[in-house]
Structure 1
Amino acid sequence: MKDISEIEAHLSNNAAREMCSHLFQSGVLLKVQVGISIKNLLCAHLGLDKTYVDKRISTILLNNQPVDDINKTIIKNNDTLALSSAMPGLIGATLRRDSHLAPLRDTITFKEYRNNDDIQDYGLIHLKLFNLILQEVGTFLLQKGVVMGFEDLIDLFDNKMSKKITGALDIYFNGKKTDINEVCRSLKSNVEQKLVLLKLKIS
């Protein structure tokens, strides 16, 4: 991935949580190692605790298909990965990993375990978080950095989060302290800028 502009926002914890709800339910991009298992991605690359992954993230969708075996299932460039804690109702129970109701969704269960003998490289994946996983993991991942389309970022700053963002302690654009209005002007004026790296610091 080519060099992209970087924005670092220093926000309160409440503003950070609100930002997470706007971003992760629709999905963000992450630059990650691909050609590895979902389990390896979550634990070794993203830094999530193994027990947390095993016990808390009970529903995992890869390209909209429920996954049971995260040790075998390989993540590839441009995949969409969705993580959720237990969802209510029959549908929620059916989608859970290793659910006793899994046979009911056999036709949509992800079974293409893929060959991971290829050289493991870095790529971009789409990540979505829902319910408790969003609340518990979202700010952690934002502090590591997520990739966004510049138009989505402008919409976030201009419309969805403007009041919270303008109350941020500090905003840095490519290492230079600035303000949200200047960031938006810079992004709008650079027609070649397609992606932006957003990092968060909680004050």
Structure 2
Amino acid sequence: LVIFGTDGSIPTISTGLPNVPTGHCAKTLKILQLSLQDIERRQRQDIRWLMLVDDDTLLSVPRLSVLLSCYNHSELIYLGERYGYRLHAADGFNYHTGGAGIAFSLPLLRLLLQRCSCPAPAAPDDMILGYCLQALGVAALHAPQLHQARPQDYAAELLQQLPPPISFHKFQLTTPEYTYQRWLNGSLAANHSRIQAAAAAPVNDSQLESCSRTQTKRCTDL
């Protein structure tokens, strides 16, 4: 776990770049570059993936590990919650939304840093990455377990049909600790009984949440 920022109260790494109000493309590429340099400098051959998340993203690492085990880390893997921009136009493209979290295999990360650049420091980072990777022939693989918004922003019926969640994004009008414990805590197998009980529990109006069903199959249901 590496946190990039300037908060002196927690261990962080500065990118050395000025903050911008939107987009953050230059800063995101710098974060990816510094992360890869650190992995290679320390010769961490046990690190196979890089997961890029916002500072207000909640993430289940055990569930993420299960999901990533379904993919070949030696291939060009670009995994996240897929969005589309002008998909029916000639210049349309797929991209993964940054708030939900984006997983890169290290071979893809190296290719990205060699071939992709920002048109402006404040360009939308996730969209620029998606545009560049599509131009390089890399598919945007969709993971329905990753979520750009809060649990209460989704229809309960939708969440009940999806695999157990791996991430949610944004803290407004939520208690992050509660959201994590209810939706993301523990591995898939260990949480079978807990999630079933949570799904059956009543939900008050302030929570507006519903637990998704448990699926115990490893990759076929992910």
Same topology, TM > 0.5: no
Structure with greater proportional helix content: 1
Q: TM-score, normalized by length of structure 1?
A: 0.26
Instruction: Tell me which protein shows more strand as a share of its residues.
Output: 1
> What TM-score comes out, normalization by structure 2 length?
0.24
